[in-house]
Amino acid sequence: MQGGAGPRVGTSKGGVRELVWGYLESSGLADAPRPVHGRIPNFKGSHQACCSIKELDAFSRASVIKVDPDKPLEGVRLAALQARKTLLVPTPRLRSGLFNRIVPPAGATKEILRICSTSRGIKEYSVPVGLDGKVRVDLVVVGSVAVSEKGWRIGKGEGYADMEYAMMVSMGAVKEETPVVTIVHDCQVLDISEELLDDHDLTVDYILTPTRTIKTNCKRPKPQGIIWHKVSYEMLAKIPILKSLRYKEKQTGKDVTLQDEHPDLANANESTALNEKAMPGNTRPQAAMGSAQLGQQYVESDSLSPRLEGSGTITTVYVGNIPPNVRVSELKYALREFHATPLKVNWQGAQHRAFLDYKDKAAAESAVSSLKGLSLGGNTLRVELAKNQRNKGQVEINSQKLI
């Protein structure tokens, strides 16, 4: 803390985090959920600090506000809802997309709005926003473990806030001038060396504490998009929407080489490496084929193959919401890029759908996970196990009961 009692600055990001978490706990400033270690820490006075955002011109002008789901930011989410602004909250660990939009019920009371601002409300009163949602965010609010008056920020160490911002840049949802605000206790405002920052680290323009509003006048550029050479296969497997963004950026000619990917590897080796990391139980489906084999494996037909449907081993994945301008070749390319190559494609473009046959249920479920969030032709595709496949297990159980 500058000019007062507080934790002494560490010499590494991890050291700073441990000092702040420890000080909040030992000084009695920490608030539930406890302990604050490993979290964006909640603190006594967080609601007071959050209320200060209503005094910012950036808040008054904003129509769409993105606020992280952390507990100390609850007051900001409530202020946004009370002001009838569009509130976007990142999905937990970005597993099922990037944003959820909080939609209070018609005629919501103050108590319902308060619930909507909590973790419970985020689950009960939200709808997902796809990549094709054309979102424009006017104000970004993030949590921090520590921050400096110059705008340098240290999060809890998992990188989600930095990645969320980079993804918003890639989507065109934010611009360089979009203000970024953080909410912290005064003791979390520290002298942080710029040497601790990396080029992917998000900086902040405003710091709100229970006693102060600090305008940082930060001159350090914010991330200009996703830095692909710092993204690992593991991260790509954990965050499905990253795959869609990578696919879109690759189509524009950008270098999207991953951290643990070697440019000179053949497609087959790339597929093998990803599937060994990403597929449950190291399942290695047909995605390990090269592009030449891929063309041989795809079979297009106007209807599902009865032989494959009834085999009991082949599992079918349904792909819907395909735009009329998308061709089967585009879907093939996406399947190869997402390492979800099926045994067979049944293309029904006139009905805006396709059916993908995989060798077993494990391979099909891995493909569904890999393709989640995929956008083609401006539409986010609907990808799920085909209805007869989802019900197959129950049908077999019922059959056994009849015997």
- CATH number of 310's domain: 3.30.70.330
- The alpha-helical segments, DSSP class H, found in 252-379 are 267-278, 291-297, 306-309, 328-337, 361-371
- Which residues, 6+ apart, have CB-to-CB distance to 238 below 8 Å? 93, 94, 95
pLDDT at 339: 79
Helix or strand holding residue 141 (H, E): strand 139-143
CA–CA separation, 76 vs 348, rounded Å?
47
Q: What is the pLDDT of residues 32-69, one digit of tens each?
A: 999 999 999 999 999 999 999 999 999 999 999 999 99
One-letter identity of residue 336: R
Res 5 pLDDT > 80:
no
Q: Which residues partner with 348 through β-bridges?
A: 353
Residue 7: inside a domain: no
Residue 222: inside a domain: no
CA–CA separation, 150 vs 204, rounded Å?
8
pLDDT at 356: 93
Q: Which of 162, 160, 161, 153 is nearest to 197 (CA)?
A: 153
Average pLDDT, the chain: 80
pLDDT at 324: 86
Q: Tell me the residue range of the domain where 151 lies.
A: 13-215
Helix or strand holding residue 357 (H, E): strand 353-358
- Which residues, 6+ apart, have CB-to-CB distance to 109 below 8 Å? none
When pLDDT is cut at 50, 70 and 90, the band that residue 237 belongs to is: confident
Residue 45: inside a domain: yes
Q: pTM for the whole thing? A: 0.67
Check whether residue 162 and residue 303 sit in a common domain. Answer: no
Q: Which of 384, 249, 273 is nearest to 339 (CA)?
A: 273
* Order of strands, sheet of 64-67, starting from the edge strand that comes earlier in the sequence: 126-129, 99-102, 86-90, 64-67, 139-143, 180-183, 206-208, 213-215
Check whether residue 201 and residue 274 sit in a common domain. Answer: no
Res 296 pLDDT > 50:
no
pLDDT at 403: 33
Give the chain's domain count: 2
> How many other C-beta atoms are found inside a 10 Å radius of the C-beta of residue 20?
28
Check whether residue 266 and residue 182 sit in a common domain. Answer: no
pLDDT at 349: 86
CA–CA separation, 234 vs 279, rounded Å?
10
pLDDT at 45: 96
What is the gyration radius of the CA atoms in the chain, in angstroms? 24
Q: Which of 68, 53, 59, 63 is nearest to 86 (CA)?
A: 63
Check whether residue 43 and residue 98 sit in a common domain. Answer: yes
For residue 8, give Cα distances in angstroms to 116, 144, 146, 190: 37, 17, 12, 8
Check whether residue 172 and residue 38 sit in a common domain. Answer: yes
Q: What is the pLDDT of residues 308-333, one digit of tens each?
A: 444 458 899 999 989 888 888 888 88
When pLDDT is cut at 50, 70 and 90, the band that residue 217 belongs to is: very high
Check whether residue 288 and residue 375 sit in a common domain. Answer: yes
pLDDT (average), residues 96-110: 85
Report residue 264: phi and psi, to 5°. Answer: -90, 5
Check whether residue 234 and residue 357 sit in a common domain. Answer: yes
Res 2 pLDDT > 80:
no
Check whether residue 140 and residue 270 sit in a common domain. Answer: no
CA–CA separation, 144 vs 269, rounded Å?
39
Residue 401: inside a domain: no
Q: What is the pLDDT of residues 172-195, one digit of tens each?
A: 899 989 999 999 999 999 999 888
pLDDT at 401: 37
Q: What is the pLDDT of residues 106-163, one digit of tens each?
A: 889 999 999 999 989 888 898 887 666 578 999 999 999 999 999 999 999 877 788 8
Structure tokens at 30: 């920490």
pLDDT at 102: 93
**Cα dihedral 52/58/59/65 (nearest 10):** -120
Res 94 pLDDT > 80:
no
Higher pLDDT, 262 or 395: 262
Q: Which of 242, 81, 263, 254 is nearest to 159 (CA)?
A: 242
Res 295 pLDDT > 90:
no
Higher pLDDT, 376 or 22: 22
pLDDT at 180: 97
Residue 191: inside a domain: yes
Check whether residue 193 and residue 274 sit in a common domain. Answer: no
Check whether residue 182 and residue 77 sit in a common domain. Answer: yes
